[in-house]
Amino acid sequence: MTVVVAPTEKLYQVPPRLLNGKGLPKPHVSSFEQYKEMWEESVNQPDKFFGNLARELLTWSKPFETVQSGSLTEGDVAWFLEGELNVSVNCIDRHAIATPDKIAIIHEGDEPENVRNITYRELLQEVSRLSNVLKSLDVRKGDNVAIYMPMVPEAVYAMLACARLGAVHSVVFAGFSSDSLRDRINDAGARVVLTADEGRRGGKNIATKRIVDEALKDTPTVEHVLMLRRTGSDVPFTAGRDLWWHEEMAKARPYCAPTNVNSEDPLFLLYTSGSTGTPKGVLHTTGGYLLGAAASVKYIFDYHPGDIHACMADVGWITGHTYIVYGPLALGATTVLFESTPTYPDPSRFWDLVAKHKVTQFYTAPTAIRALRRLGDKWVDKCDLSSLRVIGSVGEPINPEAWEWYNEKVGKGQCAVVDTYWQTETGSIIVTPLPGAMATKPGSATFPFFGIKPIILDPTTGVELLGNDVTGVLAISQAWPSMARTVYNNHHRYLDTYLHPYKGTYFTGDGATRDKDGYIFIRGRVDDVINVSGHRLSTAEIESALILHHSVAEAAVVGGQDDLTGQCIHAFACLKPNIEDSDGLDKELSLQVRKVIGPFATPKRIYVVNDLPKTRSGKIMRRILRKIVNGEQDSLGDISTLADPSIVAHLIEAVHGKK
C-alpha cells in the first residue's frame, strides 16, 4: 500500500465569506450539526431521505413506490423500483421549458478564443436531432452505442441522445489506443460508433478517425460510424458504413419524443481497470445514478441557480460523466466543457477560464494542481478568481503541499476546498467535505456523503476497526443509489470484485485511515491498480501488453511514487531465450504499451532483467520490486522465500545502477 498522505493536525475552518459573504448564497448545509443530522437520516432512514430527495431533484414520468430493495450480501440492489423517467428530459427538457435561453454548455475550445455557448433550447434541438439520427440507424432502447470523441459539445449530445432513446452509451476515452477501443466495442457488442474526424488538444491534431478505423478492422458487430467534422482534415471514409454527422443531422427533425425507462434500466457502461483480467464494463442504471449525480452537485459543490460549474475532466472518464454532464445538467446549471490542457497556450489557462466565465465551482485533479504549482505563482496571481466559491480535487490522494497551494493561491483562503473521494463504480462522490459544514484538513476527504456508511476493516481478518485512529481497508456497509449494479455480462465478476471480498459490504480497493477526530484519509489502492495522474491502470493489463511483444518472455509491473503524477509505472521485462537486450528495445517496449493501451499508460522506466523475484512456487513477488523502485531496498524484509534470493542484487543494480 502506498502511503501518500499522512494525517495532519492542521484544521481549516469554513471561510466566513461562504457563510455570510455579501451577495453570496447561503450554503445548503451550513453547519456540521446540520450535516450530521441529514447524514444520520440518510443512512438510518434511507427510504425517507432518498424518497424525498428523488422527488425533489428528479422528474418522474411514473412515480416510484418502493425506494429501495436488495442488499450488498445478495448483490441485487435496486432503487426507485416502479419509477420511470428519462434522463435527457431531466437534464434538458424541463430546463428548456422553464429557462430556454439559459446557457447549458459553455464550450471552451482548444484555442481560448473559440468559445461556443449552447442554450437549453439549442441543447434540446441538437439532442433531439441526434436521437432521430440514431433512430434512423435503428438504435433502440437497450442497444449499446460506443462514443469515441474529443471534448466537443457533440460528445455531450451523443451521451444525451442515447439516454433519450433509452440506449446505453459506452464512452471510450479518446486517449485509448485502437486495441483498447476494439476490445471495449466488442465486449459491449456496439452496432454504432460515434466519433470525429480528428481531435484538437494543446494545439495539436489527434487522429481520432484513423484510430477508429484501425479498431474497426476486428469488430464484427459495428454497422455504422457517425463522424463529426471537427477539423476538416482529409480522413478515410468507408462508404456504406461511415456517415457524416452534419449530413445526417440536416435531415433530422429537431424534436424527438423521449423514451421513458424504468429506474433500474441501464444508462451507461464505462470500462475501468481492475486488478486482474480485462477492463470491466461497469454498469450504471438510471434513477439512482442520476439522483447521486444531482444530489452531489447540489450539496458538495453547493450549486445555486446562476452558478457556472467547471469540471476539467474528460467525458471519457466517470468524472466527466457525472460532473460535466449529468449532475450539472440535471440541476439546470451552466456547465463548462474544456477541450484543451492546463498549460495551453500557457499555464494561466485554467485561471483565465475561471476569470473569463466567472466560474463559481472549479474541479480538477491533484496532478494538474501539482504541475501548475511547480510552474510558479505568477500564472495564477494575475487572474481575477473572485467568482470562485468551491474548488474541488478528485482522482488521487492530494498531498498537503498541493492542497495548501490550491487553497491559498486559487481559493485565496476564501473558498471551500473539497477533496472528493469516489470511483467509477460509486457513480458519484462518496467521501467529501460539504462547503458550509466541514472544517477541513489538507489531504483528508473528511466525512461520508449522504447515504454512505464507510467502514474500515482489518485487511486480513475483515474485522471492522471501530472508533477513531484506525487504518485498514475501506468498505461501505450499505447500498446507496448511484452504486454500479453489475459488470456488463459478468455479474460474477462484480460479486467477486466488490461484494465478496468482505461479505455484506462493498469493497473499494483503497486503504484508509480514520484519524483521532474521525477524519477519513484515503491512502491509495491496496490492489494491483496503479493511479497515474488520476488515470486508473491495472498492472496485469500493462504486463499483458508487454508480453505481446515478440521478445518478452515475462513481465512484472509495479507502481513507483512520483512527485508529479502521484504514481508512475515501472516495468520489468525478461527476454525470451536467445534474445539479447539491444539499444532501443526499451523504447520499443514502451511503444508496445502505448499501442495496446494508450499513451497515458507509457511506463516511466523499463528494466530488461534476467529474472524476476519469484517464490518457489513461481509466484512473482511484486512487493520486492515495489520496494526497490521506491528506494526502499534496505528494508526488503524476508527474501528467503525467494526461489533465488541472489537475483535481488541484480534487480537493485538494474534500477539504481552499480553501487
| 349-369 burial: b if 16+ Cβ within 10 Å, else e | bbbbbbbebebbbbbbbbbbb
Element (H, E) at 236: none
Query: Which CB, 353 or 522, lies closer to ligand WTA?
Result: 522
Query: Which CB, 132 or 471, lies closer to ligand WTA?
Result: 471
Residues written for the chain: 659
Q: How far is the CB of 413 from ligand WTA (least distance, A)?
A: 21
Query: Which CB, 170 or 551, lies closer to ligand WTA?
Result: 170
For residues 639 and 614, the answer to whether their CB atoms sit within 8 Å is no
Q: Is 309 exposed, middle or buried (0-12, 13-18, 19+ CB in 10 A)?
A: buried
d(CA 591, CA 606): 11
* SS3 per residue for 587-602: HHHHHHHHHHCCHHHC
Q: How far is the CB of 507 from ligand WTA (least distance, A)?
A: 11
For residue 496, the SS3 value is helix
For residues 384 and 519, the answer to whether their CB atoms sit within 8 Å is no
For residues 166 and 141, the answer to whether their CB atoms sit within 8 Å is yes
Q: Is 446 exposed, middle or buried (0-12, 13-18, 19+ CB in 10 A)?
A: buried
Q: How far is the CB of 163 from ligand WTA (least distance, A)?
A: 20
Q: How far is the CB of 290 from ligand WTA (least distance, A)?
A: 17
Which grid coordinates are listed for 445? Answer: 476527504
C-alpha dist (Å) from residue 305 to 118, 334, 428: 17, 9, 21
Q: How far is the CB of 365 from ligand WTA (least distance, A)?
A: 9
Query: Which CB, 156 or 522, lies closer to ligand WTA?
Result: 522
Q: How far is the CB of 219 from ligand WTA (least distance, A)?
A: 25
Query: Which CB, 282 or 308, lies closer to ligand WTA?
Result: 282
For residues 2 and 523, the answer to whether their CB atoms sit within 8 Å is yes
Query: Which CB, 219 or 367, lies closer to ligand WTA?
Result: 367
Residue 338 β-bridge partners:
108
d(CA 429, CA 454): 13
For residue 141, the SS3 value is coil
Query: Which CB, 83 or 395, lies closer to ligand WTA?
Result: 395
Which grid coordinates are listed for 444? Answer: 483528508
For residue 293, the SS3 value is helix
Query: Which CB, 166 or 509, lies closer to ligand WTA?
Result: 509
Q: How far is the CB of 419 from ligand WTA (least distance, A)?
A: 5
d(CA 95, CA 93): 5
Query: Which CB, 263 or 508, lies closer to ligand WTA?
Result: 508
Query: Which CB, 139 or 270, lies closer to ligand WTA?
Result: 270
- Residues in CB range of 625: below 8 A, 6 or more apart: 556, 558, 570, 572, 612, 613, 651
Q: How far is the CB of 361 from ligand WTA (least distance, A)?
A: 16
User: In the chain, what are the helix, strand and coil shares in percent, each to the nearest 5?
Assistant: 35, 25, 45
Query: Which CB, 449 or 607, lies closer to ligand WTA?
Result: 449
Pairing relationship of beta strands 168-171 and 204-206 according to DSSP bridges: unpaired
Q: How far is the CB of 396 from ligand WTA (least distance, A)?
A: 5
Cα within 13 Å of Cα(266), Cβ side: 23
C-alpha dist (Å) from residue 34 to 38, 46, 61, 515: 6, 17, 32, 22
Q: How far is the CB of 375 from ligand WTA (least distance, A)?
A: 23
The binding site for ligand WTA (CB under 6 A) comprises 272, 317-319, 394-397, 419-424, 445, 508-510, 522, 524-525, 531, 536
Query: Which CB, 361 or 508, lies closer to ligand WTA?
Result: 508
Query: Which CB, 83 or 509, lies closer to ligand WTA?
Result: 509
Q: How far is the CB of 228 from ligand WTA (least distance, A)?
A: 26
Q: How far is the CB of 522 from ligand WTA (least distance, A)?
A: 4
Amino acid, res. 615: T
d(CA 380, CA 165): 43
Cα within 13 Å of Cα(369), Cβ side: 30
Q: How far is the CB of 551 from ligand WTA (least distance, A)?
A: 32
